Amino acid sequence: MKKDIHPTNYRFVVFKDMSNDYAFLTKSTVDTKDTIVWEDGNEYPLVKLEISHTSHPFFTGKMKLVDTAGRVDKFRSRYQKFQDKQKK
């Protein structure tokens, strides 16, 4: 095996699901500028997530539409133009 190919700068990081405010603490090498005070009183780097296992439809069994960039509205407007063409 090759030596020195894996990162060595692991540290505790908080990952927070912004759609339902679920957060968990784990080790990671991800770089971030945000920080948060965790339940133990210590300050840790914060990574903001749009979706996690607590909000993903596969894990929850519920269909929840998460649209943060307006992609659904953009699709609907394009599809509406297509439907209008077919009606003519």
pLDDT per position as a tens digit, 27-74: 999 999 999 999 999 999 999 988 777 776 655 566 655 555 677 777
Residue 50 confidence (pLDDT): 82
**Is 1:32 a contact under the CB 8 Å cutoff?**
no
pLDDT band at 16 (very low <50, low <70, confident <90, very high): very high
User: For the chain, how are helix, strand and coil distributed in percent, rounded to 5?
Assistant: 25, 25, 50
Going across the sheet that includes 43-49, the strands are 22-28, 11-17, 43-49, 35-37
**Is 19:32 a contact under the CB 8 Å cutoff?**
no
Is a pLDDT exceeding 60 seen at residue 12?
Answer: yes
Q: What is the pTM of this model?
A: 0.61
